[in-house]
Structure 1
């Protein structure tokens, strides 16, 4: 079947990754490629529209592109046509398998045009930490087996059954089986039991294939095994790779969940290590499942799906903290060393947030019991803190995929990763152009399904985007602000457009845009201030700048207008005064609307909390800096300027004679004017641009990593992302490319 053809492709393309995008092209003068979807072992998958259908919008299609090598081209061409024909026959008689509309060769590339299934794959329903009810699992078994029964009746084995290859169709909630790239033809065996298949290739996904399939000898019972594994995953919320086997090779899973004996018996038989002990085909397994539904009078239908899904996370208890064993017969310094080792082991056994609690409590015990209280009062917490920081996994790149290095490695399966946040213990990861979050064990906390995602900011929530709309999640994976807004917070990252100093957990407000207007909601998605403003800022010192009828004013957290809408522009009340623009000039007012600094500046920045109570202002074409009393502290002499800030090494970026450098709050030059762009610092190193390339400098302007990158990001922990010759890489703090 098609797997044999695709196996040839896998072999011939092993060292030739398919990167030639066809987005925007029209195939066969009919199928216009609009979007890249994914890339797999056999080729690339795209979204397309059918130009010959006389309606608008045009119907969507899926186009799979397979690019063979020149060797064996004639053999592969014949096989492609034969196997595509079989796939066409399979799909035309079932509405639960994507229809194959066309298959053709263009430019020596092979193409399959298939029905587009509007919905989500089961990876969005079944993933680590999420478990489902027995009703959900029984319906899941029934639906999958019904489709699989039809496939088996055609003499075919799917061979790659897994959550990502099963779609939940949006229009009716039914399951649809996709990706028949691994389907295997058993018709020859049905006609001639003595015949042998020509290939013994192992195809499939390791977590879902039984031993006989791994050895290249699959049967219908191999698909039954995979369905059983999917069901156990849904029931327990534990990834198949994390399940253990006993000495006989049987999967150990029942102790993870309370389940009826009947369902446990079905799943155990489906996943038997010996294929002879399993249900031999989908019809046999489906009969047993239907009998269970009838005998137990379980009345579930496809329309019940939304009511039987249980998305509550498994509450895995934290291991109890073992008592410290204090060796009293040892001298104090040896007692300290032994107890510290015990402490480290305790911390390593706890989950992220519990680490800090365990660490703090045990430090107190050590201080008391080692007899070194005064000497260790400050040293011990520091040592523990350093250790905890080192426990947080570090992102690494291997063979073009990213994972994390720690005591146990989180698999290298992501397209990109961030460092773990120290507040929530989560890291943003990217896979197939989608974003999500995992914890330090690798468990997915926020599904990898979003088009954009910020890191966790003040208040412990992250902003996400899906299907053009924004929402927010907290660190437990709960959607606290519904994904229904045109924009949330500021335009770049946080859900909160709010300063750390002003954040009040008791009543945080999040600015959001809906129906083309801005308003404010709380973390329960309740509208606090209606959507009536043309633009809006966050709250600082109790007031937020908002725009209405083309003019700016200020409101309080109840939505009451405190300063009328009369300004052409407005900044925030960071230092109890705010810059406002009127009659094309900037000045500064206080919260009582009294003018503190007259309207005399051509442009002005705010007095931000990290700006050292200085603000950059422009007068007569030059920039200088004033304090909150309006006194000119640094003369007007710069072509451009930014405020003092944390990401500028506590200095200010200023431009003079066409070059950028840094000055301190006294106006003294700390980094010379020799860079082509402003400099951004974090964690001791700054990104600077020189000779058209980016590099890294220290706080004195000394070059640490030479200027050789086309783009560069700030260091996060020990690593930073850079671009070299169009390729993205991770580098360490010495500039070495990290590959393992």
Structure 2
């Protein structure tokens, strides 16, 4: 099928092989190559269509975004034009990342602006949540690990997404990677722009407090990602997981399955209302995430189990100096007691008699033995 892009056409559906709409006569091919198949989204600033690129033999699918603002007012229209142009610029700069859609074309036709970008085949996380239910802790760890590198890539190029939410994260079917889409609200965070109050943009449920006042910072995207995580864990709007009377998050009360203290601590820090208390950069969050992963992977230290067949001789327990003194004193007494001169038996052959040592000699020898023993005792075990 071919779909007419004229917003006023009463019958936009056409056969797939025609070049002009049979109802209004409008051209069906954009730039003589992009053919819209069906509408897949609509907002205040325009419509989005699934399309095919007929200039390539494989006719790959793509997405056409048509700028057609329906809002009234000069200021609103000017802002809409700015955002549409901005998305093209952002995608042109960021689309080289494998988890950000690539910009294919940007042009004006019949007084309407168009943006053509890579089609990402898969469901967004809001659809995944509706079909599969609450996410598990493991899935949230995977989400953070997968998306933070994308966010790091954006922030390194001074771009704040400003509209992170489940609907703008697609789980790509081909490789099960998460893709961040819809950069229409993205903002350049240059030094001058950061100190300038702008328009509040984004979905209110997921927007950081400072962004609501038009002062988005890098940490604002981290807040929105944290709000996305608790939505996926609780299957509730982030608004419903916040106690406005006490100014605290209570999302843990609505978990279907409890999560670890490590994950709770990280999410709560991502969701701090005061920006300075939040993770300031993606790098800071990634470092914390990696430390938690390493801690989880390291087994707890426990006592070694006893075995019935020891594989090595039991270690000799070192004796204290008082024990050594006692034993040496016993040896001294025993030695002096047995060192009495013996009478030779006349019936036995004469042998050289052992001359007993004097008491002072015995004391000296025992002290030497004691010193030697204590010296060996202090040698560390191998």
Give the corresponding residue for 1:157: 160
- The SS at the match of 1:53 is coil
Q: 1:201 to 1:170 in 2, by over 3 A?
A: same
- The SS at the match of 1:34 is strand
Q: 1:269 to 1:101 in 2, by over 3 A?
A: same
- Quick one: which of 24, 27, 43 aligns to 1:40? 43
Q: 1:23 to 1:202 in 2, by over 3 A?
A: farther
- Offset at residue 145 of structure 1 (A): 1.3
- Offset at residue 41 of structure 1 (A): 2.9
- The SS at the match of 1:161 is coil
Is 2:57 the partner of 1:59?
no
Where in structure 2 are the equivalents of 1:302-341 lying within 5 Å?
none
- The SS at the match of 2:129 is coil
1:525-567 CA-partner distances (Å, limit 9, x unpaired): xxxxxxxxxxxxxxxxxxxxxxxxxxxxxxxxxxxxxxxxxxx
Is 2:33 the partner of 1:30?
yes
Give the corresponding residue for 1:89: 93
Distance in 1 separating the partners of 2:48 and 2:112: 13
Q: 1:224 to 1:66 in 2, by over 3 A?
A: same
Distance in 2 separating the partners of 1:237 and 1:80: 32
Q: Which moved more, 1:59-68 or 1:109-118?
A: 59-68
Give the corresponding residue for 2:292: 292
Give the corresponding residue for 1:715: none
Is 2:135 the partner of 1:119?
no
1:436-494 CA-partner distances (Å, limit 9, x unpaired): xxxxxxxxxxxxxxxxxxxxxxxxxxxxxxxxxxxxxxxxxxxxxxxxxxxxxxxxxxx
Give the corresponding residue for 1:134: 137
Q: 1:89 to 1:272 in 2, by over 3 A?
A: same
- Offset at residue 130 of structure 1 (A): 2.7
- Offset at residue 225 of structure 1 (A): 0.8
- Offset at residue 283 of structure 1 (A): 2.1
User: Which has a greater percent of strand?
Assistant: 1
Q: Is the 8 A contact 1:63 1:112 kept in 2?
A: yes
Q: Is the 8 A contact 1:23 1:33 kept in 2?
A: no
Larger radius of gyration: 2
- The SS at the match of 1:176 is strand
Q: 1:90 to 1:225 in 2, by over 3 A?
A: same
User: Which has a greater percent of helix?
Assistant: 2
- Quick one: which of 179, 184, 194 aligns to 1:181? 184
Give the corresponding residue for 1:239: 237
Give the corresponding residue for 1:578: none
- Offset at residue 90 of structure 1 (A): 1.3
- The SS at the match of 1:126 is helix
Q: 1:96 to 1:238 in 2, by over 3 A?
A: same
Give the corresponding residue for 1:250: 248
- The SS at the match of 2:297 is coil
Q: Is the 8 A contact 1:225 1:271 kept in 2?
A: yes
Q: Is the 8 A contact 1:68 1:109 kept in 2?
A: no
Give the corresponding residue for 1:226: 224
- Quick one: which of 208, 212, 215 aligns to 2:213? 215
Distance in 1 separating the partners of 2:177 and 2:95: 16
Number of residue pairs matched by the alignment: 273
Give the corresponding residue for 2:259: 259
Q: 1:23 to 1:142 in 2, by over 3 A?
A: farther
Q: Is the 8 A contact 1:245 1:252 kept in 2?
A: yes
Q: Could you list the runs of 5+ residues in structure 2 that have no partner in the other structure? A: 1-5, 15-27, 299-382
Distance in 1 separating the partners of 2:83 and 2:187: 13
Q: Could you list the runs of 5+ residues in structure 1 that have no partner in the other structure? A: 1-17, 299-740
- The SS at the match of 1:142 is helix
Q: Is the 8 A contact 1:269 1:277 kept in 2?
A: yes
Distance in 2 separating the partners of 1:131 and 1:50: 37
- The SS at the match of 1:125 is helix
- Offset at residue 293 of structure 1 (A): 1.8
- The SS at the match of 1:49 is strand
Which of the pair has the greater relative contact order for Cα pairs under 8 Å at 6+ separation?
2
Q: 1:20 to 1:147 in 2, by over 3 A?
A: farther
TM-score (norm 2): 0.65
Q: 1:20 to 1:241 in 2, by over 3 A?
A: farther
Give the corresponding residue for 1:280: 280
1:202-242 CA-partner distances (Å, limit 9, x unpaired): 11111101211111111111111111111112222323232
- Offset at residue 259 of structure 1 (A): 1.8
- The SS at the match of 1:39 is strand
Q: 1:254 to 1:115 in 2, by over 3 A?
A: same
- Offset at residue 294 of structure 1 (A): 2.2
Is 2:20 the partner of 1:20?
no
Distance in 2 separating the partners of 1:160 and 1:77: 18
1:24-72 CA-partner distances (Å, limit 9, x unpaired): 51111111111111102321000111111023xx110100000258969
- The SS at the match of 1:140 is helix
- The SS at the match of 2:259 is coil
Is 2:103 the partner of 1:100?
yes
Structure 1: which 4+ aligned runs deviate by more than 4 Å?
21-24, 68-83
- The SS at the match of 1:296 is helix
- Offset at residue 144 of structure 1 (A): 1.7
TM-score (norm 1): 0.35
Q: 1:158 to 1:23 in 2, by over 3 A?
A: farther
Q: 1:112 to 1:23 in 2, by over 3 A?
A: farther
- Offset at residue 19 of structure 1 (A): 4.4
- Offset at residue 74 of structure 1 (A): 9.6
- Quick one: which of 203, 206, 231 aligns to 2:204? 206
1:133-162 CA-partner distances (Å, limit 9, x unpaired): 211111111112121111111101111111
Where in structure 2 are the equivalents of 1:698-709 lying within 5 Å?
none
